[in-house]
Chain A
Amino acid sequence: MLAVKTDKLTKNYGDFKALDGLELQVIKGEIYGLLGPNGAGKTTAIKVLVGLLKKTSGTAQVLDAEIPNKQIASNIGFMPQETAMYIGLTVHQNMEFFGKLFGMSKEQIAIKEAELLKFVDLEDWKDELVQNLSGGMKHRVSLACTLIHEPDVLFLDEPTVGVDPKLRANFWKYFNKLKENGTTVIITTHYMDEARNCDRVGFMRQGKLIAEGIPYEIMKDTGTDNLEDAFLHYATIGETSDGRMPDGGGVE
Chain B
Amino acid sequence: MDIGRILAVSKRVFIDLKNDKRSLALIIIAPLFSMAVFGLAFSGEVENIGVIIVNHDNGMDIPVVGNIDFADQVIDNIDHDTLDIQESDDLATAIDSLEAGDAWAVIYFSENYTANTMASIIPFTNASSEIELYIDMSNVNLAEAIIIEVNSALMATMEENGGSLPVTVERTEVYGQNAEFMDFFVPGIVSFAVYLFTTLLTLMAFIGERVSGTLSRVLATPLRESEIVSGYALTFSIVGTLQSIFMIVVGILAFDVMIEGNILLVFAVVALLAIVCQALGILLSSFAQREAQAAQFLPLIVMPAFLLSGVFWPLEAIPAWLRPASYFVPPSYSITAARSVMIRGWGLDMIWMDMVALVIFALVLLALAVISLKKKG
Contact = CB atoms under 8 A, between A and B. Distances in A.
A102 B220 contact: no
Contacts of B217: 78, 80, 84
Contacts of A51: 219-220
Interface stretch (B12-20, B261-269, B311-319, B334-342): B12-20
B212 interface: yes
Interface range, A side: 20 to 34
A100 B5 contact: yes
A88 B213 contact: no
Nearest to B17: A88
Contact of B222 (A50, A70, A86): A70
A19 to B, nearest CB: 12
Contacts, number: 73
A80 B216 CA distance: 9
B166 interface: no
B12 A54 contact: no
B171 interface: no
A89 B19 contact: yes
Interface in B216-234: 216-224
A2 to B, nearest CB: 20
A13 B376 CA distance: 12
Contacts of B222: 70, 73-74, 101-103
Contacts of B212: 82-85, 87
Contacts of A1: none
Contact of B216 (A52, A73, A85, A86): A52
25 contacts: A47-B216, A51-B220, A52-B216, A53-B376, A70-B222, A70-B224, A73-B220, A73-B222, A83-B213, A84-B216, A85-B212, A85-B214, A86-B16, A88-B16, A88-B20, A89-B12, A89-B15, A98-B221, A101-B5, A101-B223, A102-B221, A102-B222, A103-B2, A103-B5, A103-B222
Given A76-B220, A98-B221, 11 more contacts: A54-B377, A73-B221, A73-B222, A78-B221, A80-B216, A87-B212, A88-B15, A89-B19, A100-B7, A101-B223, A129-B19
